[in-house]
A and B are shown apart, each in its own frame.
Chain A
Amino acid sequence: MTILRLAVRNLLGGGMKSWLNAVVLSIAFVAIIWTQGLYQGMDNQVSRAIIDAAVGGGQYWMETYDPFDPFTLQDAHLKLTGKLDKLVKSGKATPVLIIQGTIYPGGRIQSVILKGIDPEQKLLSFPSSFLKNLDREIPALIGRRMAQTTGLKTGDAVTVRWRDAHGTFDARDLRIVQVMSTSVQTIDAGQIWVPLRKLQEMASMPNEATLVITEKNFGQAEKVPGWTFRDLNFLLKDIQDFIKSKTIGASIFYSFLLFLAMLAIFNTQVLSIFRRRKEIGTLMALGLPRGKVIELFTVEGALQAILAALVGAVYGIPLLAYFVAKGWPVPSGMADSFGFALSEKLFPTYSAGLVVGTTILVLIITTIVSFLPTRKIAKLKPTDALRGRLP
């Protein structure tokens, strides 16, 4: 208790030096929490967007379907029967048929994935209702990225060629009814969405699907012969791994920040012990045992971190709250270059675990860093200290 009181006195008595150190360390505190919160928010935001727009509560995949192997698409379709048919009819799932095709925008040739979805589906926040328009032409929906790569825009017609279930090639014109703006690349890049029934008819695959998307919070999936259930852990694994790899990058950045802050603390402690060696001698002469002197300097360092946390809280809480409320606008050009699509604004998430964890981590590291230089004191004789000498 006495050591704590003395350490508080020394810290507050340090004046400008203590405050400067606290401000430097607080910047590291706030930057670490801000960056980690941004990545946590990004993870949540991206996962939520993918769940809402593409994967729902999990998907039944036709057994041979492999999204990374286009050759499997030829045979990856099966009739909806039994349990799956019931799920679809009860509105708890929506089927998607996927076939390969080729389009010819502006005289060029380009491979695409044709996806058929029920225009009436309500499970996904996906603008499938634009596909309700069933005149003579086939309505088609594409994403912003697809529109950019093909040069297509709303109202354009494009010829599509595909191979049906019997191996016969056919071709028709599609009319782009809407270019949707989405941050989810898995429903955008290289894909054209058309009404499910129309695609089933074009491919001669009546009532067939490649996958069936279930509603959000879909419970325990039952086994369905010919189909494999893919849960969210499986469906989001790639994106979460990717975010994790980005988070590791951020961790390097924040480790560097932390290193700089710790260097400042270490330097301050070394200087402090050098500058205060006569004071150390006086403390010993007045009866403070050497171990307690070490404790005093270590506690002083730890208190420095607590002061930094308080200083950080003063400007950090309003700053972080602002970003939580208003979001952080992703600089133009960065949204797509990040490796996965980001929405225009990122909303950071600051969990209690993140804030408390970071604070404790910085406190522990600061205490260790504060302790290291004090080992010099252990070798210091009171008489040498009083003369201003160091071992």
Chain B
Amino acid sequence: MENSVLIKTVELVKVYPMGRQSIVALNRVSLTFRKGEFAGIVGPSGSGKTTLLNIIGSLDVPTEGSAEVLGEKVENLSPKRAAELRNRHIGFIFQTFNLLPVYTVYENVEFPLLLQGMSSAERKKAVMDSLEWVHLADRAKSKPHQLSGGESQRVAIARAVVKRPEIILADEPTANLDAENSHHILHTMEDLNRELRITFVFSTHDYKVMQHLRRKISLVDGKVAKEEIIETQPREERL
């Protein structure tokens, strides 16, 4: 189970119709991600990074090929089952944080657990544990508009982690953050990866993120151009 395959894509193709023409966002992408990986899909804008993450996250379906996530084929999932998979097993971190604006920090983090029907006491413990992880327990009652960018992204991480998912998909998580906050966020995610064995898959073209990755997959024009396993450097060296 330690190194079991959580995500497997086979000859994945995604084509977006654009009027009479069509754009090929993914062109026969075959990849596997194992439990506990801290991997990143890198490449320039329009290379298909987000599309790949969306399909893995069951937010979208492939035009051709297959994407198997936690043993379930994404292309065969009903919308309801896909929603359940996302709610229980996949966490998302977005570039623009995507916090629910009228909810407090606590309520934002609590949201996925509410959908799972967890009891109030269990929810409270899980939410506070997650907020402790990201050092925001004291901001539980704040609203998103009262938070800085770094704090907002940490809340988004807490929301992704609170349900203890197998996979966290992070789409350009540092794009709206300064260098210091980016490193804080990445350290937090590294800690979560190491201690909770959560698999992280990033999409990024941020050099700061690339420094932290242990596996780097380069996408160019929807194709896997290069794959590398990176020896991890001590934290202080990267800083």
Residues of A in contact with B (beta carbons under 8 Å apart):
2, 5-6, 9-10, 12-15, 278-279, 281-291, 381-383, 386
A287 touches B114 (CB 8 A): no
Chain A residues near B115: list those with CB within 8 A.
Answer: 2, 286-288
A284 touches B102 (CB 8 A): no
A282 touches B100 (CB 8 A): yes
* B47-90 interface bits toward A, Cβ cutoff 8 Å, 1 = contact, 0 = none: 00000001001011000000000000000000110011111100
Question: Which residue of the partner chain A has the closest CB to B99?
Answer: A282
Sample 20 A-B pairs with CB under 8 A, ordered by A number.
Answer: A2-B114, A2-B117, A6-B114, A13-B102, A15-B102, A281-B98, A282-B94, A282-B99, A283-B100, A284-B59, A285-B86, A285-B92, A286-B92, A286-B159, A287-B112, A289-B83, A290-B79, A290-B83, A382-B54, A382-B60
Q: Nearest chain A CB to B9's CB is how many angstroms away?
A: 17
Q: Nearest chain B CB to A163's CB is how many angstroms away?
A: 84
* Among A6, A287, A288, A382, residue most surrounded by chain B Cβ atoms (within 10 Å): A287
B83 touches A288 (CB 8 A): yes
Contact check: which of B54, B85, B100, B114 meets A383 at CB < 8 Å? B54
- What's the Cα separation between A15 and B112 when bound, in Å? 24
Chain A residues near B112: list those with CB within 8 A.
Answer: 286-287
Chain A residues near B60: list those with CB within 8 A.
Answer: 381-383
Chain B residues near A279: list those with CB within 8 A.
Answer: 98, 100-101
Chain B residues near A386: list those with CB within 8 A.
Answer: 59, 94, 98
- What's the Cα separation between A12 and B104 when bound, in Å? 12
B83 touches A284 (CB 8 A): yes
Q: Nearest chain B CB to A22's CB is how many angstroms away?
A: 16
Total residue contacts A-B, CB cutoff 8 A: 71
* Among A9, A281, A286, A382, residue most surrounded by chain B Cβ atoms (within 10 Å): A286
Chain B residues near A382: list those with CB within 8 A.
Answer: 54, 59-60
- What's the Cα separation between A14 and B59 when bound, in Å? 28
Contact check: which of A14, A286, A288, A383 meets B102 at CB < 8 Å? A14
B221 interfacial contact with A, CB 8 Å: no
Given contacts A9-B102, A383-B60, A386-B59, contact A289 B80 (CB under 8 A): yes
Chain A residues near B96: list those with CB within 8 A.
Answer: 278
B86 touches A10 (CB 8 A): no
- What's the Cα separation between A256 and B88 when bound, in Å? 48
B190 interfacial contact with A, CB 8 Å: no
Contact check: which of A12, A13, A286, A290 meets B111 at CB < 8 Å? A286
Q: Nearest chain B CB to A384's CB is how many angstroms away?
A: 10
- What's the Cα separation between A288 and B112 when bound, in Å? 9
Given contacts A286-B92, A289-B83, contact A383 B98 (CB under 8 A): no
Chain B residues near A14: list those with CB within 8 A.
Answer: 102
Chain B residues near A282: list those with CB within 8 A.
Answer: 94, 98-100
Apart from the given pairs A2-B114, A282-B94, 20 other A-B contacts in the complex at a CB distance below 8 Å: A2-B117, A5-B114, A6-B114, A14-B102, A279-B100, A282-B98, A282-B100, A284-B83, A285-B86, A285-B92, A286-B86, A286-B112, A287-B86, A287-B87, A287-B88, A287-B112, A288-B83, A289-B84, A386-B59, A386-B94
A278 touches B98 (CB 8 A): yes
Question: Which residue of the partner chain A has the closest CB to B107?
Answer: A9
- What's the Cα separation between A6 and B59 when bound, in Å? 22
- What's the Cα separation between A291 and B81 when bound, in Å? 12
Chain A residues near B114: list those with CB within 8 A.
Answer: 2, 5-6
B79 touches A289 (CB 8 A): yes
Question: Which residue of the partner chain A has the closest CB to B115?
Answer: A287
Given contacts A290-B79, A383-B54, contact A9 B59 (CB under 8 A): no
- What's the Cα separation between A5 and B83 when bound, in Å? 19
- What's the Cα separation between A218 and B114 when bound, in Å? 66
- What's the Cα separation between A290 and B101 when bound, in Å? 20
- What's the Cα separation between A284 and B80 when bound, in Å? 10
- What's the Cα separation between A288 and B85 when bound, in Å? 11
Chain A residues near B88: list those with CB within 8 A.
Answer: 287
Chain A residues near B79: list those with CB within 8 A.
Answer: 289-290
Chain A residues near B84: list those with CB within 8 A.
Answer: 287, 289
Q: Nearest chain A CB to B106's CB is how many angstroms away?
A: 11
- What's the Cα separation between A15 and B101 when bound, in Å? 12
Chain A residues near B98: list those with CB within 8 A.
Answer: 278-279, 281-282, 285, 386
Question: Which residue of the partner chain A has the closest CB to B96?
Answer: A278
Q: Nearest chain B CB to A51's CB is how many angstroms away?
A: 57
3 smallest CB-CB distances across A and B, nearest first, come from A287-B87, A13-B102, A289-B83
